[in-house]
């Protein structure tokens, strides 16, 4: 069964950077459309960034110009480079794979505070 595991979360000051990773096991990673989503306390889960199997990308409006999504298919890993982090970016970040079915990771916490 396919599994996706996030890593790279942590605590950072405003203006700082983090890089999240999502690594797959038990799957043909290159065939999946992949996305990063986040959920802050009391809020609904929202799209952060999306990268298709063919490599095209989309970003949520709040992260455009600050976050970059990428993937390394031989390493079965997707990345989210997050720069200029703001307190509003504090959330649990989840990766999701899509092949007609959705597969979610368990999430990694990102906290941005002075």
Distance CA 84, CA 62 (A): 12
Residue 26 has pLDDT above 90, yes or no: no
Mean pLDDT in residue range 78-87: 98
pLDDT the model gives residue 110: 98
Q: What tokens were used for 78?
A: 């997707």
Q: Residue 90 in contact with residue 112, Cβ under 8 Å?
A: yes
- 10 Å CB burial of residue 61 (0-12, 13-18, 19+) is exposed
Question: Counting every residue, how long is the chain?
Answer: 114
Task: Please give the mean pLDDT across all residues of the chain.
Answer: 95
Residue 74 has pLDDT above 80, yes or no: yes
pLDDT the model gives residue 1: 73
Mean pLDDT in residue range 89-96: 98
């Amino acid at each position: 069964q396919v599994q996706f595991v996030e890593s790279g979360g942590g605590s950072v000051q405003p203006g700082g950077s983090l890089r999240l990773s999502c690594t797959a096991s038990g799957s043909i990673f290159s065939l999946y459309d992949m996305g990063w989503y986040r959920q802050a306390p009391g809020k609904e889960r929202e799209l952060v960034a999306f990268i298709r199997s063919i490599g095209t990308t989309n970003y949520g409006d709040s992260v455009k110009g600050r976050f970059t999504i990428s993937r390394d298919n031989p390493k079965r890993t997707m990345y989210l480079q997050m720069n200029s982090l703001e307190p509003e970016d504090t959330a649990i970040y989840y990766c999701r794979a899509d092949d007609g079915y959705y597969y979610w990771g368990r999430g990694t916490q990102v906290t941005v505070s002075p």
